[in-house]
Amino acid sequence: MTRLARYLVPGLLAACAGDEAVVSNVTPDNRVTQVAIDPPSASITVGANLTLRATALNSLGREVVGQSFTWTSSPTSVVSVTAAGVATAISAGNATITATTAGVSGSSSITVTPAAQDTVVASVTITPTTASLPVGGTTTLGASALNAAGAVIGGKVFTWASSAASIATVSASGVVTGVGAGSATISASTAGKSASASVTVTAAGTDTVIANITLQPPSTTVVVGASATLGAVATNAAGQSLAGKTFTWSSSAPSVASVNATGVVTGVTVGGPVTITASAQGKSATSTVTVSATPTSSGSITVNGAQQFQRMTGWEALMEIGQAECDPRAYQAYRNEVLDRAANEVGINRIRVGLRAGIENPVDSWPLYRPLGQLTFNQWAATWFSVVNDNNDPSVMNPAGFIWGYLDYTIEQLIIPLKQRLQARGDDLWFNISYTGAASPTGVLHRDNPQEYAELVLAVFQHIQQKYGFYPNSFELVNEPNIGQWSPQKVANNMLAAAQRLNQAGFFPDFVGPTASGIVATTQYFDQMVLIPGVKQTLTEISWHRFGQVLPSDLTGIAQRASANGMRTAMLEHGGSGYQDLHEDLTLGNVSAWQQFGLAFCGTIDTGGMYFLVSGAKVGENNPVVNTGKMTKYLRQYFRYVALRAVRIGAASTDARFAPVAFRNANGKYVVVVKASAGGSFTVGGLPSGTYGIDYTTPADYMKPLADVTITSAQSITTAIPDSGVLTIYAR
């Protein structure tokens, strides 16, 4: 029976309950005879995701619990599927998704249609954006056309051009030939959009002259008696790496840190920082080395990949970077830096966007505030939760009764660019949209009428899908229902109505809730909600905000509720929570998603409510400087290397000072994060063979890199952290 059928036919459920009572003395049949996939068929657009759920059934049609499934797709060129059953539409066509357990399979038919804007070119990219070649040499540039969602559009023909044919020419297929020394800009154009690359052509005989030397890492820490290898790279004026160069190495304080002829630095005595210099052909570069004391004791951490816990759905932030409140000139200057650092420095890969109740309103006040300036911020904010019913029939939607200005602005300015940045480094973005306005007096239209609530939710999903070719991965039922007189029954009934309406329209998001303001209130809401037929089959993620006291028993209690009902858990707001709370929530609460609060905002007072603070960007200021939050620096050690859909695996320590949590990413690479209450050394065993990077954050250092370590499957990694903080070991 599908999730939809389970809550559409409560009478049938009651009949089944009666049947079970008659045969209660019969031994349950745990033999799998059938696999049902929900949904059994679906239609999605290119680039969209769809989470499928498989259920194993016995000969009586009852579920056989505890089964794991193998997922496959055919053809994978149309739809791909992960080990968790998440299908991604690759290209238009038809595909079959199959789930198998105990030798029995079930399938779902997926039709992939082109997104409405798939073939409209929004931008062009060139790869690489810079290139260097000698006179007479050639290099090939590649061009791609992208739609508004950032997806590549195939079959486009590009017009190539060179700004200086006397320096570099380019063929119709993007092959660049060096003609004379100098620089030229190569451009590719299609459908009125273009992009360019900078090409430097070097004269013959000059490409072996060193113009610059760089050292990696630029700084590091070693303990007394330990060694680290520094790497030196020489490049010519065109930025090309020069092989075979010999460097002269020196130390500013060899009695503290010595260096040999190959760049191996050894800690001699406690001290530093010491400057290590590599020189060649009159050029040089430096790296700083600090030597710490040899720890008096060490611990041992063992990773157990066979032990599996929760699957991650993201490190979340509220999609707030001051786009509406901070100085608009400063915002345009710092926006890209915040998005770059969110993706590449910290690793934020899940975003919460508030679905303000006032979206159901015929008057869009956003353009009156920005860019027209006809409203003040406070006047615009007063409209956020002002609900005006589109009509008196929730089954018939009036398109003119909904406004999209600010939502579209957020998706185009922030969501899509962040998603593109994450995908460029091999991760992805989880889009969570959350109903807000629980306490709004006019929000009772949605609170007290599940069909009106469902109509609003459907309108939002249809708008996003039709305009951008994707829809949210999850829908959060209501933000803090306990402050707005949303009873558990109202939250549950509204969720069921929204699920039915969305499913009928071909949308199958995860459902997240009840998201009360504290963990105790959340469990109270949840315990009442699951008494209503259909809730157990519909709710996907038990979510809470971490306000008020949180006991270890509260965390284990919510984790047990989730496990018993086949759900996940998520802590989705607490400005001021740091890595100690995160570690506890991961290991006791088994959270799959975690949020401190907003992504960024203008200001300098760091209370732990924003991952980034932007100074010089308040209204009237236009000198923005993006600063990483003090708590963010430690959270980053967890976020940065653990991608979407990673699985937490077993990790145990013999030393209470070093508390580990380990993950296996979807690509099979392991990550171990160690929360250290004091400085010291430890070993980590149980990791697969390979090369591992190591960095840490302490009160004195942020993202401090250590030398890479390469091990076989039988070897352990020995490392150290000089003070309390967080250290991360990650597979390269």
What is the DSSP secondary-structure string of 127-151?
ESSEEEEETT-EEE-EEEEE-TTSP
Pull the structure tokens for residue 683: 């070993």
Nearby residues of 264 by Cβ (< 8 Å), 6 or more positions away:
227, 228, 229, 230
pLDDT for residue 209: 83
pLDDT for residue 633: 97
Spell out the domains of the chain, with CATH numbers in brackets.
3-113 (2.60.40.1080), 123-202 (2.60.40.1080), 212-289 (2.60.40.1080), 317-640 (3.20.20.80), 648-731 (2.60.40.1180)
CA distances from 497 to 446, 450, 491, 528, 581 (A): 11, 6, 10, 17, 35
Question: Which of the residues in the chain have pLDDT under 50?
Answer: 1-28
DSSP 3-state assignment of 343? Answer: helix
331 φ/ψ angles, rounded to the nearest 5 degrees: -55, -45
Cα-Cα-Cα-Cα dihedral sign, residues 265, 269, 272, 277 = negative
> Is the bond preceding 39 in cis, omega lying within 30 degrees of 0?
yes
Provide the pairing of β-strand 86-89 with 79-81: antiparallel
CA 20/CA 14 separation, integer angstroms: 10
CA 400/CA 392 separation, integer angstroms: 14
CB 713: neighbour CB atoms within 10 A? 9
pLDDT for residue 388: 95
CB 310: neighbour CB atoms within 10 A? 21
Q: Which residues pair with residue 412 across a beta bridge?
A: none
CA distances from 655 to 11, 224, 697, 698 (A): 56, 22, 20, 19
682 near 300, Cβ under 8 Å?
yes
pLDDT for residue 155: 62
Nearby residues of 16 by Cβ (< 8 Å), 6 or more positions away:
none
306 φ/ψ angles, rounded to the nearest 5 degrees: -80, -15
Burial (Cβ within 10 Å: 0-12, 13-18, ≥19) of residue 732 = exposed
pLDDT for residue 262: 85
CA 437/CA 422 separation, integer angstroms: 30
Pull the structure tokens for residue 303: 């990773």
Element (H, E) at 436: strand 430-436
pLDDT for residue 2: 30
pLDDT for residue 296: 56
Short-list 586, 719, 731, 640, CA closest to 301: 719
Nearby residues of 319 by Cβ (< 8 Å), 6 or more positions away:
351, 352, 353, 410, 414, 415, 599
597 near 479, Cβ under 8 Å?
no
